[in-house]
Structure 1
Amino acid sequence: MARILIRRRTALPPEEAWRRLTAWEHHARHVPLTSITVATPPPTRVGTRFTARTGVGRAAFDDPMEVVRWEPPVRGRPGRCRLEKRGRVMAGWAEVEVTGRDAGALVVWREEVRVRALPWLPDALVAPAARLLFGRVVAGLLGG
């Protein structure tokens, strides 16, 4: 599996950074040719399921995910969320951590991803592409 680590500082308060990073449907704004459908009613919690659909026509695939850990930031305690990828094309997990730092927050995004549909695709190719993509998502969601 390709491993990804993204760290970003933001002037946003931890609660606002968390809100933006966990607004699942907004992730699609920063991923080309992607839409996101949340399958469970709000609010987000353990068991929340959503699917990112990427591509066009017959060349599209679904990336279903489920929230398996949900701990929003509260009074100085970091927020932590873990998603598990449950699809036939993509496998792995993602973790989002938001910690208050000075007048803002530190965001750490960890992910392990494997392209199940293309098992021959080496992690050395997947990791840089995923790092670029998810770095763009995090920066876009945080507003910069």
Structure 2
Amino acid sequence: MAQFTVVQEVQAPAGAVWATLVDWPRHGDWAPLTVVRTVPGPAEGLGAGFVARTGVGPLAFDDPMTVVAWQPPAGDEAGDRPGRCEVAKSGRVVHGRAWFAVTPLPGGRCRVVWFEDVTVSPRALTRWAGPVLSLAGRLGFAATLRALARDVERTAG
């Protein structure tokens, strides 16, 4: 398995960051070479589904996901309950789970924690290349969360 965690502080309220993160098609605005589309069904909350298509031409792959846990943040003040969303990944290439949490901090800020625990097909690839995939995922998602932070800070500020 490839696992990684990325943490990003954002100079914006937890509610605004949560709303941006769960606007699934917007993920393509920050993740390079990625387009996200929703699938029929609920747009948010448990059971919401979406597909991230990542790559170029014949090297692109679909990463279908379904929300399996959903708890928006209880507020924007430090000490308010954090929000947490978890998805199950069920694609032919990427399988596993991912989640993010949005924790309110003092001064109208918040912290985003993003975690992935995935296997890439062929599964032998993950077994042998797990550390490299974890590093690549951590670096890629760190850049994605920095782009998200810049975006939401511009619009919320």
Same fold (TM over 0.5): yes
Q: Secondary structure at the match of 1:77?
A: coil
Greater share of residues in helix: 2
Counterpart code for 2:92? R
Q: In structure 2, what is the equivalent of residue 81 of structure 1?
A: 85
Q: Does the alignment pair 1:100 with 2:104?
A: yes
- More displaced stretch, 34-43 vs 64-73: 34-43
Question: Once the 2 structures are TM-superposed, how far is the Cα of residue 35 of structure 1 from its aligned partner?
Answer: 1.0
Counterpart code for 1:96? F
Q: In structure 2, what is the equivalent of residue 114 of structure 1?
A: 119
The 4+ residue runs of structure 1 with deviation greater than 6 A are none
After TM superposition, the structure 1 = structure 2 runs for residues 16-27 of structure 1, keeping only pairs within 5 Å, are 16-27=16-27
After TM superposition, the structure 1 = structure 2 runs for residues 1-144 of structure 1, keeping only pairs within 5 Å, are 1-40=1-40, 43-75=43-75, 76-103=80-107, 104-117=109-122, 119-121=124-126, 122-143=129-150
Q: TM-score, normalised by structure 2?
A: 0.84
Contact 1:88–1:117 (CA<8 Å) still a contact in 2?
A: no
Contact 2:71–2:84 (CA<8 Å) still a contact in 1?
A: yes
- What percentage of aligned pairs have identical amino acids? 38
In structure 1, list runs of 5 or more residues that go unmatched: none
Q: TM-score, normalised by structure 1?
A: 0.91
